[in-house]
Every structure is written in C-alpha cells, then in structure tokens.
Amino acid sequence: MPGTRGAVPVPLHTNGGQRDLTEEILEAVDQHEHVPTAEVFPATPQDKIKAALDRLASRQMVEYETHDKEQVLLTAEGQAIADEGSHEYKVWDAVRREGRLSLKDQTLANASAKLGQGNAFKLKWIKKDGDALVSLTDSVSDTTREQLQYAQEHRAFQDPKLLKDYSKRKLVTTQKVITYVARKGPRWAKEMPVEVTDLTAEMIADGSWKTANFKPYNFKAKGTLGGEGVGGGTGALHPLNKVREEFRKIFFNMGFEEMPTARFVDSGFWNFDALYVPQQHPARDLQDTFYVSDPPEAGPPGSDESVDTILAEMDVDDDQDESDHPPSDPATRAKDTTAKLDYQAYYNNVRAVHQDGKFGSIGYRYPYTDAETRRLVLRTHTTAISAYVLHRLSANPRPCRYFSIDRVFRNETVDATHLAEFHQIEGVIADYNLTLGGLQAFLKRFFRNIGVPDLKFKPAYNPYTEPSMEVFAWHEGLNKIVEIGNSGMFRPEMLLAMGLPEDLRVYGFGLSLERPTMIKYGISNIRELLGHKVDLGFIESNPAVRLDRE
C-alpha cells in the first residue's frame, strides 16, 4: 500500500465528524468490563470489528479474546415454518376452519400438506372420517414453530439436543461465527492519540520527534521495494549468468586466464581434426553437429589477429621483463608470436597423424580429406578454441592455465534435458611433468569450491584425451554417484602435432553450466532455464548462488 508510511499524522476522525468504530469500542470498554462485540455491535460486520480491535490492540489500549461459536440458521423451509406454522399445524388449521375437509380438497394436494397430515394424525389433532378429515381438538400448541422461532431469535436452541433433530429435518443449518470480547489493555486510554507514521526531516529539525506518538510498525508484513509488482522494482541478473560468475571467480582464484571464445562458427579442422577426432567419428554426423551451408567453407587454418592481440594483452607474463621499458604493444607482441608459428606445418602434422601415424602413434589410417577440414560448423565444444590457444602456446611453451565458459551447439532433438544450445565450462592446464593423480588432486580442489567434497574417477573414452576420466560425485537426492564432469590429459597426437614439447603435458576438463544450475535451483526442464521460455518472475526472484555454502 503506497503512502501508508508517509510522514502524515493519522487523523482522529476519518469519517467527517461521525464517531468511528474504534471510538465506539473505546466508549463501550470504558463502561463495561467485558464487551462482547457481537452483542454490542450486532450490525457491524466481523472484519470491521476485527480491524478496529487490532488497531487498538497493537497500541495495547485494548485487549481482546476471540471466541468461536456455532450459530443456528434457519433454512428456507425452517423459515417458512417459523413464519406460517408447521405443516401439521397448517393442515389442522385448514380442517378446523372448514370443520370437515374432503381428502380430495386442493388444500391437501401439496407436499407440505402430505407431510402435515401424517404428523397431525400422530399428534391426534385430526382423524379420518369417511373420505374427509375432521378436527379432534379446538386448540393445539405448534411446538415446531415455537422452537424454530426461538432458534431464529437466539441463533441457538433452548435445548441444544434439538439441533441434531432439526438439522436432520433440514430445517436448520449451522455456521461458525467468530466473536470477540474486548476489555481494557495495559496502556488503556479512552482517546486515540494523534500518531505519526514515520520520522521526517521536519520532526528532526523542530524536535517534535521527542513527543511524537509513532504509529506502530507492522513487523509481520513484508517490506516493499517501491516498484510495481513482485520484484518489479529491482533489476536482476539471469541465474545461469550468476552461476557462471561463481565459476569464473573460482577460475580466477586459481590463476586461470579467460580464453577469447567469441567465435560460434568454426571449421572442421579446429573443431575436430585438431582435436584428433577422426573424420568418420559419429560426433561429426549431421545428426549431432550443425553444419553451415552459407558461407560455404572455411579458409585454411591460420592465425586470427583479433584473438591473438587479446591473448597478448592478457598474457602479462608473456615476454615481459620488469625493467623500465614501456610495455610493448599487444598487437606487436601478437605478431611476434605469430611469426614463430607455421600453420601449414601444423596442418600437415594433423593430416599425417590422422592418416599415416606420427609422433609415436600409428594413426587412424584412413584417407584424410581436406574438404572435411574446411567444412564450417557451429562449434560443438569450446575445446575448438582451446586447440587454437594451445597451438599458439607452442611459440613460447610454458606452464599456463586457461578457461572459458561459453555457448556451444549440438544438433539435438530438444527435450527436457537437451537443448540445441548450452554452455560449456572448460579448463585447460599446461605444465611440465603433470600426472594423472595431479589432475584428480586439482579437480578435488576445484569441485570443493562448488560444495562437492568427494569425487570418484572412472576411466572413460574421449578422442582427444588419454587417459580420460569421468568425474563422479555422490548425489544426495538420487542416493547414488552421478557424473558431474569430464576430464583427461590431451593426447600426444594432438599436442605434438602443434609443436609443443613432449614433457609439457596438458590437462583438460569440462562440465556444462546448465547441469549444476538446474540442480542448484531445482529445475527439471532445461527450457525453463535457457531460452525465451524462461519465466521472468523466476529470473527476478531467484536467490544468490553461493555454491560453496550449500
């Protein structure tokens, strides 16, 4: 309710001189120790009385008790009896007035009269005489009517046992009523004080706050954000991006550089061949990968100046000394790096290691086609970028850590757990003499940051890592271990083809961003998380992430 907390004194009389209900209640409580409101204010609706009592009770001027009571109400039939008399009375009355009433008389042709006849016989008010009815008495007492009239007046029967009988006969029903009994409270006063709803600058300035009577704050209600609708007054970040941000912080804390992944379209070469995915691998099927029809094909693999400059800019350790020389321009440094790389030689290596074997590998031994390398695809993983970055590392091989979190594309049939787009979280660590147990140790540290303490590692297959390990963790809800990520050490066929030294080994690991987010927010349908079908209310109200705290 906008405005209720403004700095406005609550006026004593809101209804233009007429005494309002609170005043009437105060008056009544002043005169009587106990005020049963239903009796004192029979015409006033319950909710109004309650509101007025609450207003007084919140100031402890009045206290009240609440009573639940069952009231008797007459049904339409019961009301008719109370007004006109019982069925048997009406029959007797008709017979009495006529002296003798033919059984075929119209008066007896209705349901009420049929019921009444039977009762009147039982009560011995009338009897049958041939084909007519005659009265047996001059006066009767219509108890039914009397009892109903009493119930109508008192909302109860004189003898409470009657209720059951009358309810059964559908002459009365009952209804729960709440009534209140009010009395003086600990801070009793007969008058409502003038109150202010809020502290104002003027009150501070003129000192009136010292004597002001503050309207009590409703501590039971929720506060407002001052905007329209639920959450309408606030901006919000998307939950997936909030989780993404948590992961980015974890990567930054562990010394990772963010890779330039703004490149949705890539060539078969970078997306598959460079990663030692053979050209007949099922992942390269039309069923799994989005191919691009226009533009028709990629150019030969080479350096990408825009990406290179960014990499040079971020690589503060790269070729920099700590002397007073002004730092060299990133674009220049990027060019220096590119000059050390031979992309044609790299391409030839990749071809050789697929087709004929090289670098200690027998290769896949199939006819390698250049056309496959030129096909453009929507990248199926961000590892396409990792391959580019790792190849670039061969110009100046050194330990480093890279990560990315970005969109990838798969030609999936869309359902509750699959979309054609999702986000991949990927980390790459290059260092000398890395071990498989070291990758496990790193992953334990990484996943501990998102609140997953215990991991198990399963041997797995992945064309570009050997060894490959699936990462499993205990899932409390499912009561079993579930896969939470993938990892491995990049194959020599991939790294040596790039020109990296043999002892520089490279870990790679990845997981989807959507999966942990869905678990975090209890979402079972991925379409409720990514894409245009997401509920805006959900975006506005989903809480902060804090992966390490739950």
Partner 1 sequence: MPTIGVNKADFYKALGREYTKQEFEELCFDFGIELDEDTSESKRPIIDGVEEAPQLKIEIPANRYDMLCFEGIAMNLNIFLGREAMPNFTLKPPSDGQLQTVTVSKDTERIRPYFSCAILRNIKFTKARYESFIALQDKLHHNLARQRTLVAIGTHDLDTIEGPFTYEALPPEEIQFAPLNQTKAMNGKQMMDFYEKDKHLSRYLPIIRDSPVYPIIYDKHRTVLSMPPIINGNHSKITLATRNVLIDITATDKTKLELTNHILVSMFSRYCAEPFTIEPVQIISDHNGQTRQTPDLTPRPTQASTTYINSICGLSESRESLCTSLARMCYHAHPSLTDSDILEVDIPITRADVLHQADIMEDAAVAYGFNSLPRHLPRTTAFTAAALPLNKLADIIRLESAMAGWAEVMPLILCSHDENYAWLNQPVPFSTNQKPVRLQNPKTAEYQIVRTSLLPGLLKTIRENKRHAVPMKIFEVGDVVFQDKGRERRSRNERHFGACWYGRGSGFEQVHGLMDRVMGMLRVGFISREEGLGEEEEEEEGAKGLKGGKGGKGEGKAGKEGLGYWIEEVDDPTYLPAHAAAIYLRLPSSSSSSSSSQPPPPPQRIGTFGILHPTVLKRFELPFPTSVLEMNVEVFL
Here the tokens at position 506 are: 């490279």
Does 449 engage in binding with partner 1 (CB under 8 A)?
A: no
- With a CB cutoff of 8 Å and minimum separation 6, the contacts of 50 are 180
228 binds partner 1 (CB under 8 A): yes
Of 290, 347, 464, 509, which lies in the binding site for partner 1, with binding defined by CB under 8 A?
290
Indicate whether 325 belongs to the interface with partner 1 (CB under 8 A).
no
Angle between helices 383-393 and 305-314 (to 10 degrees): 70
Interaction of residue 301 with partner 1, rule CB under 8 A: yes
Phi-psi region of 99 (alpha: psi -120 to 50; beta: other; left: phi over 0): left
Distant-in-sequence contacts of 208-215, Cβ < 8 A, 24+ apart = 215/10
By CB under 8 A, residue 286 contacts partner 1 = yes
The reply to whether 544 sits near partner 1 by the rule CB under 8 A is: no
**Cα–Cα distances in Å, from 480 out to 262, 445, 452, 515?**
37, 21, 14, 17
By CB under 8 A, name the one of 20, 71, 174, 357 that touches partner 1.
357
Backbone φ/ψ region at 207: left (φ over 0), alpha (ψ -120 to 50), beta:
left
Between residues 185 and 357, which has the closer beta carbon with respect to partner 1? Answer: 357
Residue 370 binds to partner 1 (criterion: CB under 8 A): no
CA distance 484 to 499: 32
Tokens of residue 213, six digits: 């009577």
CB of 244 to partner 1, least distance (A): 10
Residue 458 interacts with partner 1 (CB under 8 A)? yes
Among 207, 367, 453, 522, binds partner 1 (CB under 8 A): 367
Residue 217 or 461 having the CB closest to partner 1:
461
Answer whether 359's CB lies under 8 Å from 493's CB: yes
Structural tokens at position 212: 């002001």
Q: Determine, following the binding rule CB under 8 A, whether residue 416 of this chain makes contact with partner 1.
A: no
Helix (H, G, I), strand (E, B) or coil at 478: coil
Among 255, 453, 477, 522, binds partner 1 (CB under 8 A): 255
* Sign, Cα dihedral of 45, 47, 51, 56: positive
Q: How far is the CB of 23 from partner 1 (least distance, A)?
A: 39
Q: Is 227 in the site for partner 1 (CB under 8 A)?
A: yes
Q: By CB under 8 A, is residue 238 in contact with partner 1?
A: yes
Q: Say how many C-beta atoms besides its own lie within 10 A of residue 132's C-beta.
A: 15
Q: Does 162 bind partner 1 (CB under 8 A)?
A: no
Distance from C-alpha of 526 to C-alpha of 496, rounded to nearest angstrom: 39
Q: Applying CB under 8 A, does 479 fall inside the site for partner 1?
A: no
> Which residue, 163 or 254, has its beta carbon nearer to partner 1?
254
Per CB under 8 A, contacts with partner 1 among 305-324 are 310, 313-317
Q: Does 294 help bind partner 1 (rule: CB under 8 A)?
A: yes
Whole-number minimum distance, CB 211 to partner 1, in Å? 39
